[in-house]
Amino acid sequence: MAVWAIGDIQGCYQSLRQLLDKIKFNPKVDTLWVAGDLVNRGDGSLETLEYLYSIRDSVRIVLGNHDITLIAVYYGIKKSNPTLDPILQSPKAEVLLSWLRQQPFLHVDYQLGYAMAHAGISPEFDLGMALRYAKRIETRLQGDDVEAWLRKMFEKGIESFDPKASELEIDRYIVGTFTRMRFCNENHRLDFKQKGRPTDALRSKGLLPWFECKKRESIDVKIIFGHWSTLGFYHDDEVLSLDTGCLWGGELTAGRIDSKEVEIVSIPCKAQA
- How many of the other CB atoms lie within 10 Å of CB of 100? 22
- Would you place residue 189 in the very low, low, confident or very high pLDDT band (cuts 50, 70, 90)? very high
Write out pLDDT tens, residues 34-56. Answer: 999 999 989 999 999 999 999 99
Write out pLDDT tens, residues 26-37. Answer: 999 999 999 999
- DSSP three-state, residue 173: helix
Quote the mean pLDDT of the chain.
96
- Of 16, 70, 21, the C-alpha closest to 41 is 70
**Cβ-based burial of 15 (10 A; exposed 0-12, middle 13-18, buried ≥19):** buried
**Cβ-based burial of 116 (10 A; exposed 0-12, middle 13-18, buried ≥19):** buried
Given this model, what pLDDT does residue 28 score? 97
Alpha-carbon distance of 262 to 170, in angstroms, equals 35
- Would you place residue 248 in the very low, low, confident or very high pLDDT band (cuts 50, 70, 90)? confident
Write out pLDDT tens, residues 57-88. Answer: 999 999 999 999 999 999 999 999 999 999 99
- Would you place residue 272 in the very low, low, confident or very high pLDDT band (cuts 50, 70, 90)? low
Domain ranges of the chain: 3-268
DSSP state string for 185-224: -TT--EESS--S---HHHHHTT-EEGGG-TTPPP-SSEEE
Residues in the chain: 273
| pLDDT top residue among 270 and 242 | 242
- How many of the other CB atoms lie within 10 Å of CB of 108? 19
- Would you place residue 210 in the very low, low, confident or very high pLDDT band (cuts 50, 70, 90)? very high
CATH topology classification for 3-268:
Purple Acid Phosphatase; chain A, domain 2 (3.60.21)
- Of 225, 232, 228, 227, the C-alpha closest to 251 is 232
Calculate mean pLDDT across residues 86-109: 98
Alpha-carbon distance of 161 to 151, in angstroms, equals 20
